Structure 1
């Protein structure tokens, strides 16, 4: 049995599915923040939101494919599941970090907009 192929068969679809789910959630709910940041300019907010979505896809799916290769010896189902867990866990942590980074950027942009409105 080629356990590497089994690992890859589960890793890529799971990673892509996770990326799509997180990206769509951020896209759907991030629009509200962007409309506020861009002072009600919905067209600009939607444009920026789509660009953020595309960048999110490219970074995460690109990273997933770059990290597909494994050099660890895999000779059992247990080692396959352990390797898969490590790879998926890493992707989930990266998705979470990117989410918080996006929130931070939105916060800073909104804060700047509010300061400009007061001035």
Structure 2
């Protein structure tokens, strides 16, 4: 078997494994955060969580597939490690950037919800008083 094909197989196995592990970790631990962002609506939090995971898989698997091809042929074992380290490093960076982008957007939504909650008075108004007329 050609060393380039071996590098491709290892790259795919590791990249897919990393993507699945990160998605499951983010899904499991992000559910609590989403519940807070969505004011305790558990059904909506689960639905948004599932949609985020599906989008995460689509974007990352698409990137892994597009980044699979390489113009250089791998001729020795050192070349396999160099090709794998470059490709997996980029995949890890993309996974990290996507995670940070998700957290940033959700935190903005959460902060906006907290600001709206603070603007509502804790007790509804009891009545209305006309302003005093200055003489």
Give me the TM-score of the superposition, normalised by structure 2.
0.86
Aligned to 2:36: 36
User: Are residue 88 (structure 1) and residue 85 (structure 2) matched?
Assistant: no
State the Cα RMSD in Å. Answer: 0.8
For 1:75 and 1:33, locate their aligned partners in 2 and report how far apart those are by CA, in whole Å. 47
Query: Partner residue of 1:11?
Result: 11
Unpaired runs of at least 5, structure 1: none
How many residues are matched?
A: 119
Correspondences of 1:1-119 after superposition (within 5 Å): 2-119=2-119
Query: Which structure ranks higher in relative contact order (CA pairs < 8 Å, sequence separation ≥ 6)?
Result: 1
Q: Which protein has the bigger helix share?
A: 1
Ranges in structure 2 where 5+ consecutive residues have no aligned partner: 120-135
Q: Distance in 1 between matches of 2:60 and 2:87?
A: 13
The structure with the larger Rg is 2
Structure 1 length normalisation: TM-score? Answer: 0.97
CA distance in 1, matches of 2:110, 2:32: 11
